[in-house]
Structure 1
């Protein structure tokens, strides 16, 4: 099967809306506007070019995270599969839109700051804490994330990452 993968940098154009299908699958939709900056070759001045609009759809576990993380106007980066949807409107006009089935969605941190909060699923039956099921925004146990040590300069195998070698700049291990 041929698929077109795409990454779009733009701004959230509509409030992300969380939906639930009759069989219980959650999905979120929102629109993204991406405007290319163009330079006029005659005078060298920059201006806004054409704005492309995409409908973004995120399914299942990512749907709620997207709906609760993004607001209209946020700078965003979306990666996924590109397709189109066609329909006939109430006036009989043929319509279409570009759709991205999102594989990854995140704030564009080149335009602002963001802090990541991992969602931990507390609904596991062997949950010793005895909390009610469902996801929690609390961090999990420290040993549950092998990359958590990376923030302290350690990798998942407890090898030093970026140790000083006598040079001014850190040198990654294995390079």
Structure 2
């Protein structure tokens, strides 16, 4: 069997919410918007192109982790299997005599059954928390595991961390970190 696997970079368009199926399986879904940047050949200016919308679905632990980690508007990278969901939807259509008729229309949407969802760290800062699943113990559930180091870089001021917000390369100088100059 050949699956179509895709990687989509975009923004979360709806808040992921956790649900449970009648069989007891946790799941979530959210809408993902991916807008291509296009360059106008006449002016050389960049602008937003067409936005493609996908529904992203996850199950079990992945669903719980995404619901705890991702919010509407977050930039994400999603990788998974592309599928197409189709269904029949009733719709009212006006009639010339003023009445309405209910007709059934075929609808479809592109769905990514996600294997991986990550916040795009090229667009902002991300903090990762490893999870230990203790669901196999009575009354247990997934809990965050503390980092192995005593010093958490997120607790330091930006001046104490090598580098700067622009991502410039730094070298250690006599008086501490000194930004590297390019072409000076």
Q: TM-score range by the shorter chain?
A: 0.7 to 0.9
Q: Is the 8 A contact 1:6 1:79 kept in 2?
A: yes
Instruction: Provide TM-score, normalisation by structure 2.
Output: 0.70
Equivalent pair of 1:120/1:139 in contact (CA under 8 Å): no
In structure 2, the residue matched to 1:137 is 144
TM-superposed deviation, 1:26 = 0.7
Provide structure 1 residue ranges, at least 5 long, that are not aligned to the other structure. Answer: 126-130, 143-147, 149-167, 169-175
Of Structure 1 and Structure 2, the greater strand share is in 2
Task: Within 5 Å, give how 1:8-23 maps onto structure 2.
Answer: 8-23=8-23
The farther-off stretch of 91-100 and 32-41 is 91-100
Q: Which moved further from structure 2: 16-25 or 96-105?
A: 16-25
Aligned to 1:33, the other structure's residue is in SS state strand
Residue in structure 2 matched with residue 61 of structure 1 by the alignment: 61
Structure 2 distance, partners of 1:28, 1:52, is: 20
Q: Distance in 1 between matches of 2:82 and 2:127?
A: 28
Q: Which residue of 2 aligns with 1:3?
A: 3
Q: In terms of Rg, which structure is larger?
A: 2
Distance in 2 between the 1:27 and 1:16 partners?
Answer: 10
CA RMSD of aligned residues (A): 1.9
User: Is 1:105 matched with 2:117?
Assistant: yes
Counting matched residue pairs gives: 138
SS at match of 2:121: coil
Deviations 1:18-40 (CA, angstroms, capped at 9, x unpaired): 11111111111000000000011
1:91-170 pair list within 5 angstroms: 91=91, 92-125=104-137, 132-139=139-146
Question: Match for residue 52 of structure 1?
Answer: 52
Equivalent residues of 1:27, 1:57 under 8 A apart: yes
What secondary structure sits across from 1:56 in the alignment?
strand
For structure 2, the 5+ residue unaligned runs are: 92-103, 150-170, 172-184
